[in-house]
Structure 1
Amino acid sequence: MVVATSDPPLYDAFREAMAEVCGPVTIVTTMEDGRPHGTTVSAFTSLSLDPPMVSVALDRRSDLLAMVQRTGRLAVNVLSADQELLARRFARKGADKFDGVAWTADDGLPRLPGAIAWLRCTVLPVIDGGDHVIALARVDQVITLPGQPLTYHRRRFGTHVALRDDLAVDA
């Protein structure tokens, strides 16, 4: 079911319900014509272990979506709890998001220092998702660093705190 803005009560209720879902904060990046591009994305999830795959939902009108479709490659920078300002910067519109931001090209894709995980991916088919497009991506390389994740919940940035240290769930 596609939630349409022509049904404001359903739209508002759905938006409020989704604000209750805590999500990771990532910056999805790609390179085109030698320039880095990226945007903040919280609609990111692990999809498969064998083969390793993730899904990323990008706004249908996003410049980044068009670039990712043209290049067939993307990187996911999973932000750490101290990268809120970076998340805000990349959430805005405009082509100058990387101005003054430290980054490196890792196998031809932008990598942001301080991210707790970096995934280099090959884009597979995309799927229509209403006002977004879901990019399925095969993970080709992973780099992880210790740290707490940046999360988004109730339209605010935060982080995760484990309830107990003695019970880990292997998802």
Structure 2
Amino acid sequence: MPTPQPPGTITPQAFRDAMATVATPVAVVTAMDGPRPHGTTVSAFGSLSLTPPMVLVCLDNRSRLLEVIRRTGRFGLNILGAHQADLATTFARSGPDKFNGVTWSPSQDRPRLPGSAAWIAAEADAYVPAGDHTVLLAQVVSAEPGEVPPVDSSPLTYHQRSFGTHTPLAS
């Protein structure tokens, strides 16, 4: 068994390499800033509570989207399907114009991306500082599967620094 390293001595690269072994789901978090939509790709999100329905989402502290959500208190969680890897890449890049050329529609005052595997509208309850990120704890006000089931309903995942999907094991 390896000797534990003292806190603060692990390199960021070693941590990234270890976390790359974890397959995570992929979503685009969206919010409105007045008439302007904002969004970013995340892989750190999940269900938190069934009663009441709650989710958690982790956003970088430098994120413009985090500023918008702090001000408005609401966001959408567009959970992506395997057919949406290009969309995940578009929203993963930096810059203010991620919605250029992207089809979206307003849903409960939140930008909704068509074709997503699922849609969740949420309202932030708490913002928990966590290192260089903030964990949003949010009440779910609406949750539904995608508008039109895609031909391939497999989820989009991120593993070993690339997009992929889940394949069930044979029974």
The unaligned stretches of length 5 or more in structure 2 are 1-6
**Pair 1:153 & 2:159 matched:** yes
> 1:169 maps to which residue?
none
In the superposition, the TM-score normalised over structure 1's length comes to 0.89
| Partner SS, residue 70 of structure 1 | helix
In the superposition, the TM-score normalised over structure 2's length comes to 0.89
Q: Tell me how far 1:10 sits from its aligned partner.
A: 3.6
| Partner SS, residue 122 of structure 2 | strand
> 1:47 maps to which residue?
48
May I ask how many residue pairs the two structures share in their alignment?
160
| Partner SS, residue 124 of structure 1 | strand
> What does 1:81-120 correspond to in 2, within 5 Å?
81-120=82-121
Q: Tell me how far 1:11 sits from its aligned partner.
A: 2.5
Deviation per CA, 1:83-126: give whole Å up to 9, x if none.
11110010111111111111000111000001000100000111
Matches of 2:49 and 2:169 in 1, distance apart?
A: 26
Q: Supply the AA of the counterpart residue of 2:168.
A: A
- State the 4+ residue runs in structure 1 displaced beyond 3 angstroms: none
- The alignment's C-alpha RMSD in Å is 1.3
Matches of 1:81 and 1:50 in 2, distance apart?
A: 29
> 1:132 maps to which residue?
133
> 2:80 maps to which residue?
79
Q: Tell me how far 1:12 sits from its aligned partner.
A: 2.4
Q: Tell me how far 1:13 sits from its aligned partner.
A: 2.2
Deviation per CA, 1:30-74: give whole Å up to 9, x if none.
001111110000011111111111100000000000100000001
The unaligned stretches of length 5 or more in structure 1 are 166-171
| Partner SS, residue 95 of structure 2 | coil
Residue identity (%): 51
> 1:168 maps to which residue?
none
Q: Supply the AA of the counterpart residue of 1:151.
A: T
